[in-house]
Chain A
Amino acid sequence: MHKVISQENIADGIFRITVDIINEARPGQFYMILPPGGAFSLRRPISVHDSTAFTASFLYQVKGRGTKAISLLKSGDELDLVGPLGNGFSFLAQDSVFVGGGLGIAPLFYAIKEFKRAYPGKTAACYLGFSGEAFLTKEYEEISDSFGYMQSGFITDIVEAGSNAYYACGPEAMLEALLKKAGREAHYLASFEARMGCGVGACYSCSIKTASGNVRVCTQGPVLSAKEVFYEQA
């Protein structure tokens, strides 16, 4: 069990919870979080949004009773989580583009920070797309070299093509549109979302089809090569 340090209501239905935990996570990894109260049979896979040496925070949306129960936790309460799990992003030492859509912006904050820490001489361009209320734009702008966001329309429209490295998380339509923009030769990694049972590769609940056969998002992902996943795209 881990102590909740803070719980912030970031936007309508969007929360950020910060937990006291020794940070071992790489950007793009996730934890399996058990909603409190004993009434839940499945943990919720939630990616690491930010992390310091002794904390991890998670940005999440209240979608059902599980995330609702998590959102009711207060500073000092305890949270049961297992992780970090999954592979995480592997960065190239190149100027890079980070694209997030909706709640998919969550893992990119830690990703951009870690990218800049590893390659301070390389630029991180960040583009965030929202449908409606935008959130945390200032925080993302501060850690990025260039920044843009939209509250409607397709964020991929304003993403500049021509970079060699792209990292993204968001709705599949956005991820697929970014592949068109980036081109199939680019190093383009996307973090995928899937319903999970175990989070460790045991149950095959999160399998998705890729160019090289079925992969389990929890262990072979959640970060996958976009062109492997959208292999049917011309």
Chain B
Amino acid sequence: MSKLSVDFLGLSWKNPLAAASGTFGFGESYKSLFDPSIIGAICTKGITLEPKEGNSGIRIWETESGLLNSIGLENPGIDSFIYDILPEMGNLGTIIIANVGGDTVDSYLLALDILNSADDVGMIELNISCPNVKAGGMAFGVHPKDAYWITQLAKQVTDKPMMVKLSPNAYDITECALAAESAGADGISLVNTFQAMAIDIAARKPVFDNVYAGLSGPAIKPIALRMLHQTAKAVSVPICGIGGISSAQDVIEFMMAGASVVQVGSAVFKDPYVYGKILAGLDEFMEKEGLHNISEIVGAAL
């Protein structure tokens, strides 16, 4: 067993890094720059039952220490994912996590049912936290009772290990995590983007057609870390940490706060080679600390 390998939801990861949904396409995009098999797992772009065109207008906007996005879950739909994309994605040499979104409960459940036949999908990330779609999306991730309801139904349908991706815009993210756990979620991932906005002062109107967008990047890291720490104290299922991670230091902080694995998201836009750099940094840290496996630090700061 290598120093960086970890077990998460019954799967053996070569390292605790995953590519966050929405920042890594379907794993093919960065192939000309580096081999994606160095990453422990790849979360797909959010997939919905039907294809979605996404939002109109500006979709991305740089902020101080971060960025706003309002993509609106543009994706080719579950059938195209399985027939057109997955055959190639399945050969990337890493774990594939299907990130599943939906407008209605039925659309989530139908998509999950179809994914049961997709052997190349190792895990499900139930996205109840997208802030950029009007119906569904985050609606299921704001109230604990909704998180409970959808998680329980999803678990009845899916045959695959499933983590529930939570929103920092929930009334109480720890309550939502507890609800998902008691509804049978195998794991929790947090956090999705923070609802935020920008204004075009010349036009005197919001930058985004959808008005509110999702903030990611280093700006959210300390808040995401705090939310993860609180959640880790409350639940006993494994947690995947997300939120502004861009360095080995960040990964170590999230793992010490209780994350078993983490996702790197928009940091890859700034530095396409960030994954390799983080892995090298983790090696260096373990060497210095005399660790045998990276999992030894999980929860060290709880």
A contacts, CB < 8 Å to B: 34, 39-43, 66, 82, 195-198, 200-207, 209, 214, 219
Contact = CB atoms under 8 A, between A and B. Distances in A.
Contacts of B45: 202, 204
Nearest to B58: A195
B69 interface: yes
Nearest to A213: B53
Given A41-B62, A195-B58, A200 B272 contact: yes
Contacts of B214: none
Interface stretch (B24-32, B134-142, B143-151): B24-32
Contacts, number: 88
B276 interface: no
B269 A197 contact: yes
Contact of A41 (B32, B53, B67, B71): B67
A37 to B, nearest CB: 12
A13 B244 CA distance: 33
The interface residues of chain B, by DSSP majority, are classed as loop
Interface in B14-46: 22-25, 28-30, 32-33, 45
Given A195-B58, A195-B59, A196-B60, A40 B270 contact: yes
Contacts of A203: 22-23, 25, 60, 69, 71, 269
Contacts of A41: 62-63, 65-67, 217-218, 266, 269-270
B268 interface: yes
Nearest to B75: A204
Contacts of B71: 203-205
A202 B23 contact: yes
By CB atoms of chain B within 10 A, which of A39, A196, A202 has the most? Answer: A202
A214 B56 CA distance: 11
Interface residues of B, number: 33
B69 A197 contact: yes
A202 B60 contact: no
B54 interface: yes
Given A197-B266, A203-B69, A204-B54, A40 B62 contact: yes
A188 B285 CA distance: 55
Contact of B53 (A206, A214, A219): A214
B60 A197 contact: yes
A34 B269 CA distance: 10
B32 A200 contact: yes
B74 interface: yes
27 contacts: A39-B64, A41-B63, A41-B66, A42-B60, A42-B269, A43-B269, A195-B60, A195-B61, A196-B60, A198-B23, A198-B25, A198-B29, A198-B268, A198-B269, A200-B25, A200-B30, A201-B28, A201-B29, A202-B30, A203-B23, A204-B54, A204-B71, A204-B74, A205-B69, A214-B53, A214-B54, A219-B29
A56 B271 CA distance: 21
B62 to A, nearest CB: 5
Contacts of B24: 202
Nearest to A196: B60
Given A200-B33, A205-B59, 11 more contacts: A41-B266, A195-B60, A200-B25, A200-B29, A200-B272, A202-B45, A203-B22, A203-B25, A204-B22, A214-B53, A214-B54
A189 to B, nearest CB: 23
A148 B29 CA distance: 40
A41 B32 CA distance: 21
A201 B25 contact: yes
Contacts of A197: 23, 60, 67, 69, 266, 269
Interface in B58-86: 58-67, 69, 71, 74
A42 B267 CA distance: 9
Contacts of A195: 58-61
A203 B272 CA distance: 13
A207 B54 CA distance: 9
A183 B127 CA distance: 46
Contacts of A34: 270-271
Given A197-B266, A203-B22, A204-B74, A42 B54 contact: no
Nearest to B265: A203
Nearest to B24: A202
Contacts of B270: 34, 40-43
What are the 9 tightest A-B residue pairs by CB atom distance, in nearest-first order? A202-B29, A202-B25, A205-B60, A200-B29, A201-B29, A205-B59, A42-B62, A204-B74, A41-B67
